[in-house]
Amino acid sequence: MSIATLKARGLLRTVQAAPSQPIAFPFGLGERGVHEVAEAAYGDRAAATGFVLTAAQRGRKGVWLWVCQAGIARDLGHVPEAALREMSGGHRPRLSIHTRHGADALWAVEEAVVSGAVAHVVAEVEAADFTATRRLTLASEKHGVPVTLLLPYACDGATAAATRWRLAPRPSAPNPHDPHAPGYPRFRAVLERCRAAPDLAGRTYDLEWNDETLSLGLVSGMAAGPAAPRPAAGGGIVHRKAG
């Protein structure tokens, strides 16, 4: 039986492969697919949040949707609008949704992705299993809306996410204008998993956020001089306050 006959009978169809993930930092974060950003330890949520806001800057312009379980917002607070404006140059409007249960949060994420009305969806959830992340991955690839899951330090297990990052704060460099003030925020990002480049799993990136140029760069070596206090180094711009 010829190929033309198979196609005519609906037994053969063309399948378009999903676009491949870029093999370079930040490996598609904020541009496509589903990505997980987790705390390295309890209390590192500010660093994880700062990493998402800075590393995902190169994504498409538009409104971000921020979905958060109510319990997480109650325990950790929320990202103030002032912080979002400062870290995006004032060009990153946001819509926020709080849900009681994780399943409701993931449902809201999927509906937002399918709608195509937002540029990026960030969800703070307690957990997301393989089935949930697989559904979100398929929706993200089809509609072109990236999804980032902010997860607690205890998260583990296999998922369908393109990457999983572990974030911790690092001491900032001395402030050139005030030796008693912290310098630029710094993060340590460990690429725990990467589907596009499995051999890069475990690679560590020491990063610094420049709030003047709104750029994230690699740090070579440790900061000289006395270290800044840990909370400020973990993304001092992103103080989370209870709402």
Q: What is the CATH number of the domain that holds 91?
A: 3.40.50.300
Mean pLDDT calculated for residue range 116-143: 96
pTM of the model: 0.80
pLDDT score at 7? 59
- pLDDT interval class at 227 (50, 70, 90): very low
In this structure, is residue 136 part of a structural domain? yes
pLDDT at 81: 82
Largest CA distance in the chain: 79
Residue among 230, 219, 210, 232 nearest 189 (CA):
219
Task: Using alpha carbons, list the distances in angstroms from residue 202 to 22, 95, 193.
Answer: 18, 34, 7
In-domain check, residue 14: no
Is 184 inside any structural domain?
yes
Mean per-residue pLDDT, 220-243? 42
CB 124 within 8 A of CB 11: no
Per-residue confidence (pLDDT) for residue 83, from 0 to 100: 78
Is a pLDDT exceeding 60 seen at residue 235?
no
pLDDT at 172 over 70: yes
Residue 14 has pLDDT above 60, yes or no: no
Integer angstrom CA distances of residue 107 from 158, 178, 189, 197: 20, 47, 28, 29
Q: Which domain holds residue 55?
A: 32-237
**Of all helices (H) and strands (E), which one includes residue 216?**
strand 215-218
Q: Is the residue at 149 inside a domain?
A: yes
pLDDT at 241 over 70: no
Q: 12 lies in a domain? A: no
What confidence tens digit (pLDDT) does each residue in 179-202 have?
888 889 999 999 999 999 999 999
Tens of pLDDT along 45-101?
A: 999 999 999 888 776 788 999 999 999 989 988 888 877 777 776 667 889 999 999
pLDDT tier at 222, thresholds 50, 70, 90: very low
In a domain, 93, yes or no: yes
Count structural domains, the chain.
Answer: 1
Q: Minimum mean pLDDT among 138-152, 161-175, 214-228: which range? A: 214-228
Distance CA 173, CA 34 (A): 32
The pLDDT-based confidence of 22 (bands split at 50, 70, 90) is: low
Q: Which residues contact 205 (CB under 8 A, 6 or more apart)?
A: 25, 188, 189, 190, 191, 218
40-44, 160-164, 215-219, 232-236: which has the minimum mean pLDDT? Answer: 232-236
Q: Is residue 22 part of a domain?
A: no
Rounded Cα gap, residues 166 and 39, in angstroms: 6
Higher pLDDT, 132 or 82: 132
Q: How far is CA 100 from CA 54, 108, 161, 195, 238, in A?
A: 28, 12, 23, 31, 24
CB 131 within 8 A of CB 122: no
Give a yes or no: residue 8 inside a domain.
no
Identify the pLDDT of residue 211.
82
Q: Given a cut of 70, is residue 1 above it in pLDDT?
A: no
